[in-house]
Amino acid sequence: MKILVTGGAGFIGSAVIRNIIDNTQDSVVNVDSLTYAGNLESLSLIEGSERYAFEKVDICNRAELDRVFSTHKPDAVMHLAAESHVDRSIDGPAAFVETNIVGTYTLLEATRSYWNTLSQDKKDAFRFHHISTDEVYGDLEGTDDLFTETTSYEPSSPYSASKASSDHLVRAWLRTYGLPTVVTNCSNNYGPFHFPEKLIPLMILNALDGKPLPVYGDGMQIRDWLFVEDHARALYKVVTEGEVGETYNIGGHNEKANIEVVKTICTLLEELVPENPHSKTTAGLPCEDGNINGFESLITYVTDRPGHDVRYAIDASKIERELGWKPEETFESGIRKTVEWYLNNKEWWSRVLDGSYAGERLGVKG
């Protein structure tokens, strides 16, 4: 079948496309406006496939969306395009309202218009898969509580509120118009090709450069970490096998406090790059506080972000029970693969850090 993926040049979207092209016979139409987080270099390994097409289109542009649907005639939509960084949403919420709410509405209407032209068989087989986040649920109070598919929504940030709004729109388009939709809510993703402003790649790259490793508050905020390639497999399961109207929570079964994640990265870097000038091996002189220099000495505690949720944790038993998916990576195996990927792919992240990758968005070679 042919799947239209919005936000396919982003972190999760590019993993979804790589998974589809590498592991199925399906075709993909990548619809992405190439904002700061969109990077076509994340798709360099599959961009030559005859089953892949790219459309530089903003999901808020209805006329262009209509053209894309008419031209490519997809059998399903996987909607990943979103503004997704909490700190950015606090500093500038307007873009999150525009993309995540108005953009989702515009995409739903373009999809519905196209869907209404299909034969009944194709209508029945069609899916609109909306990819969301566990942040819509807010904060967990108890240490044993888990987010389930029926947990009430209590978003804390402009980002999570905008995603909650888009979730409600998708369900309303099923209830009101019969558009066959399915929703997934995932925990924190990590892995290769992650934009360097996010926690894990930021810590890796700052440590390699001897820069401070900023940790919010006491670092005890807990997240359930999901390796992005596991997530991509789950999303394909849902779009091809999920039941219309259902919600599936996708988690990694890996609850870790932020400070534990940062210290794990430091430990791996000590092992993998002992020759780095900031490792214990190379800089093994005592610090003023008596500790040994090394990557952990770069950890710096900073003022917590406003409204910072303390704990997220996903109950992913439904998708395992009904669709047979569970993560293949433990946090230990996934974080090692991630650190090794950044060590082996300096060209990719260097072009992100110096901005040269942005030439794609301007139509020039960077």
* Domain limits, the chain: 2-195+224-255+309-331
pLDDT in tens, the chain (366 residues): 999 999 999 999 999 999 999 999 999 999 999 998 899 999 999 999 999 999 999 999 999 999 999 999 999 999 999 987 778 888 899 999 999 999 999 999 999 999 999 999 999 999 999 999 999 999 887 667 899 999 999 998 999 999 999 999 999 999 999 999 999 999 999 999 999 888 999 999 999 999 999 998 889 888 899 999 999 999 999 999 999 999 999 999 888 999 999 999 999 999 999 999 999 888 665 555 555 579 999 999 998 777 677 788 899 999 999 999 999 999 999 999 999 999 999 999 999 999 887 655 444 332
> Which CATH class name applies to 2-195+224-255+309-331?
alpha beta
Q: What's the pLDDT score for residue 17? A: 98
Provide the annotated active-site residues.
Answer: 134-135, 159
The model's pTM is 0.92
Three-state SS across the chain? CEEEEECCCCHHHHHHHHHHHHHCCCEEEEECCCCCCCCHHHHCCCCCCCCEEEECCCCCCHHHHHHHHHHHCCCEEEECCCCCCHHHHHHCCHHHHHHHHHHHHHHHHHHHHHHCCCCHHHHHHCEEEEEEEHHHHCCCCCCCCCECCCCCCCCCCHHHHHHHHHHHHHHHHHHHHCCCEEEEEECEEECCCCCCCCHHHHHHHHHHCCCCEEEECCCCCEEEEEEHHHHHHHHHHHHHHCCCCCEEEECCCCEEEHHHHHHHHHHHHHHHCCCCCCCCCCCCCECCCCCECCHHHHEEEECCCCCCCCECCECCHHHHHHHCCCCCCCHHHHHHHHHHHHHHCHHHHHHHHCCHHHHHHHCCCC
**Per-residue confidence (pLDDT) for residue 363, from 0 to 100:** 42
